C-alpha cells in the first residue's frame, strides 16, 4: 500500500529526475527564489562574454571614423570661415577686368581662376545672401588674395574703369540703321551685327526689359528695334561687345519711358502705338512747342472722318508711296531705304508698302520710322486739346520753305482750302 510522503521527506538524490518536473495537478510547488539567484550568479561566473573580436575592432573603427569625420568637417568649416573672413597676410595685387553684364556666378569663377578665392560657389552664395552682390560693377579692379569677402565685394562695387571711352550723340529721329552706322563709323561695331543683336535675330533676348515682349510681331514690320533705341548722348567704352552697345540704348529707353505707363493704361492705348505715332511727330515736327499741335492733327486724322482726307489715314510724307519725295522718307531716301537697297533697285516690296504706306492704309503703320525723343512721345500721348475741339478740329499743317520769309514756321488749317493757302504762303508749289 502506497503512503503519502511529507514535504520534508524529500530526498534530492532520489528525486533528482523530478527537479524540473511539472507539479501534480491541483497542487502548487513552492519555489525557492533565493536558490535561483544563487544559481544564476554562479552561472554568470562560469560563462564569460564570448563576443567575437571583430565586433570590438569594428566598434573602435566606427568611433575613430566618426572622430576623424568630425575633425575633418571642423577643419573644412574653419577653412571656409577663414576664406570669408580673410587672411592677415595678403597676396600680390592682381588686376581683373569684369565685363559689362557679367553675372555674379561668373564673377566668382573669374576670381577663382585668378587665384583670389578658393571656392567660387561660396563667394556667389555669400554675395547673394548678404545682399551685396547687387552692387557689383564692371571694369578694371585691383584685388588681392586673402582679402575678406566683404572687402572684395566693396572693391568690386566701386567702378575703377581705366579704359578708353568715346562720347557720341544720336539726334532724335535717327533710324535704327542710322544709329548702327554712327557706331560703325566710330569703329565700335558693325552695322549688321548691331541690328541683328538689337532685333534679337542673333539669339539675343531682351526680355529683361518690360517693353520688349510687348512689341507686336506685326506683318511687314521691318525691324523690331526701330523706335526703341533711345536717342541721346552716350559715353561708350571702346572695345565692348555688340550686346553692350545695344543694352545701353534699351536701358535708357526703359528708364525714360516709365513715366508713360500710367497714362498709357489710363488712355487705353499701348506703348507701341505711342512710339509709332511719336516717330511721325518727331519727323514732321521735332520742336517741343509744335509737337503737341502736330500730334492733335494726327489724332484728328486717325479718329475723325473728314471728307477732305482719306478716312482715318495718317497721311505723312515721311512714310508713303511717293517715290519722288525729297524729304527724309523712310521708304525711299532714309538710311533704312539705302540699307535695303530700294532706291538702287527702284522699287519697294509690296508687303512693305502695304505695311508702311500712310496714304492708302488706315491707322498706324506696322512700326515706327525713327527713334523719337522724350518730347515727341509725351506729345503723342497728350495732344493739344485746343486743336481737337468738336467742329473745330485741325487736320493740316505745313512749314515754311527754307528760302521763304517764314522758313521754319508752322501753319495749321482746319480745311484743305486753308491748307492750300498756307502752302502757297510758305513758298511751296501748289498742285
Q: Is a pLDDT exceeding 80 seen at residue 341?
A: yes
Q: What angle do CA 408, 411, 412 make, to 5 degrees?
A: 145
* pLDDT (0 to 100) of residue 326: 63
Question: Architecture of 68-155 per CATH?
Answer: 2-Layer Sandwich (3.30)
| Total length of the chain | 431
Report residue 405's pLDDT band, with 50, 70 and 90 as the boundaries.
Answer: very high
- What lies within 8 Å, CB to CB, of 335 at 6+ separation is 175, 177, 178, 181
Q: Is the dihedral of CA 406, 408, 409, 412 positive or negative?
A: positive
Q: Is a pLDDT exceeding 60 seen at residue 3?
A: no
Report residue 32's pLDDT band, with 50, 70 and 90 as the boundaries.
Answer: very low
pLDDT in tens, 261-285: 988 999 999 999 999 999 999 999 8
Contact present, 140 and 86 (Cβ < 8 Å) = no
The CA distances from residue 200 to 99, 224, 225, 266, in Å, are 21, 8, 9, 30
**Region of residue 315 (left: phi > 0; alpha: psi -120 to 50; beta: else):** left
pTM over the 0.85 mark = no
Report residue 191's pLDDT band, with 50, 70 and 90 as the boundaries.
Answer: very high
What is the enclosing helix (H) or strand (E) of 64? helix 53-85
The string of DSSP codes covering 20-55 is: TPPPPTT------HHHHHHHHHHHHHHS-----HHH
Indicate the angle between helix axes 271-284 and 288-303, nearest 10 degrees: 120
C-alpha cell at 362: 488706315
Report residue 79's pLDDT band, with 50, 70 and 90 as the boundaries.
Answer: low
Give which of 278, 286, 307, 308 is closest to 379, Cα–Cα: 278
* pLDDT (0 to 100) of residue 76: 63
Give which of 355, 368, 354 is closest to 273, Cα–Cα: 368
Per-chain mean pLDDT for the chain:
84
Contact present, 379 and 278 (Cβ < 8 Å) = yes
Q: Is a pLDDT exceeding 60 seen at residue 7?
A: no
Q: Is a pLDDT exceeding 90 seen at residue 175?
A: yes
The DSSP letter of residue 217 is -
Q: Is the dihedral of CA 186, 169, 230, 369 positive or negative?
A: negative
pLDDT in tens, 359-383: 988 999 999 999 999 999 999 999 9
The string of DSSP codes covering 284-329 is: HT--HHHHHHHHHHHHHHHHS--TTS-TTB---TTSSS-TT--S--
Contact present, 239 and 164 (Cβ < 8 Å) = yes
* pLDDT (0 to 100) of residue 179: 98
Contact present, 277 and 301 (Cβ < 8 Å) = no
Spell out the domain ranges in the chain: 68-155, 169-394
Amino acid at each position: 500500500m502506497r503512503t503519502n510522503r511529507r514535504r520534508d521527506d524529500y530526498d534530492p538524490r532520489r528525486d533528482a529526475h523530478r527537479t524540473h518536473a511539472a507539479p501534480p495537478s491541483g497542487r502548487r510547488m513552492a519555489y525557492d527564489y533565493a536558490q535561483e539567484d544563487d544559481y544564476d550568479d554562479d552561472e554568470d561566473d562560469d560563462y564569460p562574454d564570448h563576443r567575437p573580436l571583430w565586433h570590438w575592432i569594428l566598434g573602435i573603427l566606427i568611433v575613430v571614423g566618426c572622430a576623424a569625420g568630425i575633425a575633418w568637417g571642423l577643419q573644412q568649416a574653419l577653412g571656409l570661415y577663414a576664406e570669408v573672413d580673410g587672411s592677415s597676410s595678403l597676396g600680390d595685387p592682381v588686376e581683373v577686368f569684369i565685363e559689362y553684364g557679367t553675372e555674379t556666378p561668373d564673377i566668382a569663377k573669374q576670381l577663382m581662376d585668378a587665384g583670389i578665392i578658393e571656392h567660387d560657389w561660396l563667394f556667389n552664395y555669400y554675395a547673394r545672401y548678404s545682399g551685396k552682390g547687387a552692387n557689383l560693377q564692371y571694369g578694371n579692379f585691383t584685388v588681392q588674395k586673402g582679402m575678406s569677402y566683404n572687402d572684395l565685394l566693396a572693391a568690386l562695387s566701386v567702378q575703377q574703369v581705366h579704359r578708353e571711352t568715346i562720347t557720341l550723340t544720336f539726334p532724335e529721329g535717327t533710324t535704327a540703321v542710322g544709329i548702327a552706322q554712327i557706331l560703325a563709323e566710330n569703329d565700335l561695331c558693325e552695322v549688321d551685327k548691331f541690328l541683328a543683336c538689337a532685333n534679337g535675330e542673333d539669339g539675343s533676348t531682351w526680355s529683361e526689359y518690360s517693353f520688349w515682349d510687348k512689341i507686336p510681331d506685326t506683318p511687314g514690320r521691318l525691324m523690331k528695334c526701330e523706335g526703341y533705341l533711345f536717342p541721346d548722348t552716350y559715353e561708350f567704352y571702346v572695345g565692348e561687345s555688340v550686346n553692350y552697345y545695344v543694352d545701353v540704348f534699351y536701358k535708357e529707353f526703359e528708364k525714360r519711358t516709365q513715366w508713360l505707363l500710367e497714362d498709357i493704361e489710363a488712355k487705353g492705348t499701348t506703348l507701341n502705338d505711342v512710339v509709332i505715332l511719336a516717330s511721325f511727330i518727331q519727323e514732321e515736327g521735332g520742336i517741343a512747342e509744335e509737337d503737341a499741335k502736330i500730334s492733335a492733327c494726327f489724332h484728328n486724322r486717325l479718329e475723325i472722318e473728314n471728307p477732305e482726307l482719306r478716312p482715318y489715314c495718317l497721311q505723312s510724307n515721311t512714310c508713303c508711296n511717293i517715290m519722288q519725295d525729297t524729304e527724309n522718307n523712310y521708304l525711299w531716301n532714309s538710311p533704312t531705304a539705302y540699307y535695303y537697297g530700294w532706291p538702287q533697285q527702284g522699287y519697294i516690296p509690296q508687303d512693305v508698302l502695304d505695311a508702311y504706306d500712310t496714304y492708302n492704309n488706315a491707322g498706324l503703320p506696322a512700326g515706327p520710322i525713327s527713334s523719337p525723343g522724350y518730347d515727341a512721345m509725351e506729345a503723342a500721348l497728350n495732344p493739344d486739346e485746343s486743336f481737337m475741339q468738336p467742329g473745330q478740329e485741325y487736320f493740316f499743317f505745313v512749314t515754311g520753305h527754307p528760302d521763304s520769309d517764314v522758313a521754319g514756321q508752322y501753319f495749321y488749317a482746319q480745311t484743305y482750302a486753308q491748307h492750300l493757302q498756307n502752302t502757297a504762303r510758305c513758298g511751296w508749289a501748289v498742285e
